[in-house]
Amino acid sequence: MKIALAQINTTVGDFEGNSRLILAALEAAEAASARLLVLPELALCGYPPLDLLTRPAFISATEAALAELAARTRGTYMLVGFAERVEAETGLGLYNAAALLGEGRVLAVRRKSLLPTYDVFDEARYFDAYRGDYAPIEIDGLKLGVTICEDIWNDRVFWPKRRYDCDPVEALAAAGAQAIINLSASPYHMGKPALRQEMLAAAARRHGLPVVYCNLVGGNDELIFEGGSMVLDAAGQVIARARRFDAAQIYADLFDEGAASAPLVPCEERIDDTREALLLGLRDYCRKCGFSRVVLGLSGGIDSAVVAALAVEALGAEAVVGVGMPSHYSSEGSVTDARALAENLGIEFHVLPIADAYQAVAGTLAPLFAGTEEGVAEENIQARLRGMLLMAHTNKFGGLLLTTGNKSELAVGYCTLYGDMSGGLAVISDLPKGLVYKLAHHLNRHREVIPVSTLTKPPSAELRPDQLDADSLPDYDVLDDLLVRYVEHSQPRAEIIAAGYAPALVDDIIRKVDRNEYKRRQAAPGLRVTAKAFGIGRRIPIAQRFSG
């Protein structure tokens, strides 16, 4: 059986656009004489639809689009993900489902059993979990076991500890399935592609069945889906693989003993994967939200330089505007480095000094601040003036304001609400500072995009005389490791101290992370590339007193 996998880039709620992509994939599959076309999880409505699923009109639109797709099928069958409404006395009355379309109608429906409610997922909020009998679908006498995303992530042999008490793959194999098909919307984070490939190969080997895995591609809000669809034979060897971070359609001959396979090469984590993920997330966020241009402040520092370089690669130089906003504390290099970056990138660049505006605000506040020493309040006035100017630019000329803060600074609150946190998308908010530098060097791999002086000067917010980040924070390599332990791995205080860190330092970092939750709750959505990003996948109370 020749099978086609279409990893398409869907938009949530765009039934017309998503259907157009699906029909284009069907036409290509028909032209290639494929017998079955497989599409991603919830491909018809887009993933994740979140609370749109609670709107009856949204489900009705899904049903209408599914009927139209079914009517189009002829010689090639199609498996497509959709939200299925059912009449039931109990439960939510909605399933995350896959429909087999063919012969001009819906031939069969299979439902998702395992509904993730961890990290960025909350599917039990919307769907009922299927708990009936597991029966393969049959095409040309071949029995195919259909699973949906999480259904394949619960193998009792592969995982030391399982989240669920049932294994749909095991049940389908016992029911006589001759291959396992998985419709997926599995978001990217660093390290996940390699783990996923190992898991799929283990499932194929354990059950002695080919595995067909079709994953979504594209950016949807904070989440990035890298695709990476693949077909593995019964020995766990890859016989077809789609490129990552781009839409693609691949083909494979199931049950063909002569089909060529490739050695199971592990997916190595590359800095270029991080770059491609951020480019995809930024490009799709703008495209799907209707922004044709972006604006950002250029400080001459590493963070804004990296964001600007990514924006140009994702959107084109003509769609990017940089603004330098020096204060009386800014070094001469901050402006020259920002200007050099803008010239290297070929983007529009403006300089709007804030010294006079700062003096005006300081004068207004002088009676209130009389008798006090200058400190954080005066520093934050500068940051908020910059935020105001950038927002004024987007209001006047249109566009999306990009924030440029990194994960290390956001974690410990080294950022200003309504100042440098102002904006609509936080492009590198999930990149620790060390990774920002690594990405910057990678962006310079062909030519000098980011000035060398930006790469080599000590990081500084330049909000007071001779200020350096090191005045308030430990070295970034130390800070980043502490944050990975506490934020990403949830290591307790005692365990972090046992790793060799001074108790006072550990307590200081934990305190800063915990007390700045209120800032992060008000931050722009950030593109997720690590296993634990700030945002929808990390839910910590703001008002709480636990520390440990």
Question: Which structure tokens are listed for 498?
Answer: 């046992």
With beta carbons less than 8 A apart as the criterion, state whether 174 and 206 touch.
no
- DSSP string covering 7-32: E----TT-HHHHHHHHHHHHHHHHHT
Residue 148: beta bridge partners?
A: 183
Residue type, 64: A
Spatial separation of the C-alpha atoms in residues 113 and 95, rounded to whole Å: 9
Nearest one of 457, 16, 488, 101 to 496, comparing CA atoms:
488
Q: Is 161 a catalytic residue?
A: no
Residue located via tokens 């080919």: 210
Nearest one of 515, 10, 432, 59 to 221, comparing CA atoms:
10
Helix, strand, or coil (residue 179): strand
Task: Give me the catalytic one of 45, 84, 112, 409.
Answer: 112
Spatial separation of the C-alpha atoms in residues 374 and 92, rounded to whole Å: 57
Spatial separation of the C-alpha atoms in residues 202 and 169, rounded to whole Å: 12
Backbone φ and ψ of 224, nearest 5°: -125, 130
With beta carbons less than 8 A apart as the criterion, state whether 224 and 280 touch.
yes
Helix, strand, or coil (residue 79): strand
Strand order across the beta sheet in which 179-184 lies: 137-139, 142-148, 179-184, 211-215, 230-232, 238-241
Q: Is 149 a catalytic residue?
A: yes
With beta carbons less than 8 A apart as the criterion, state whether 358 and 329 touch.
no
Which helix (H) or strand (E) segment is 38 a member of?
strand 36-38
Q: Is 519 a catalytic residue?
A: no
Task: Give me the catalytic one of 2, 16, 27, 41.
Answer: 41
Region of residue 256 (left: phi > 0; alpha: psi -120 to 50; beta: else):
beta
Question: Which structure tokens are listed for 32?
Answer: 């290639």
Backbone φ and ψ of 253, nearest 5°: -100, 105
Residue 96: beta bridge partners?
A: 83
Question: Which structure tokens are listed for 342?
Answer: 């803008």
Q: Where does 245-317 have alpha helices with state H?
A: 271-289, 302-315
Spatial separation of the C-alpha atoms in residues 463 and 315, rounded to whole Å: 31
Q: Classify residue 263 by burial, with Cβ atoms within 10 Å: 0-12, 13-18, 19+.
A: exposed
Task: Give me the catalytic one of 63, 89, 103, 149.
Answer: 149
Which residues are marked as active site? 41, 112, 149
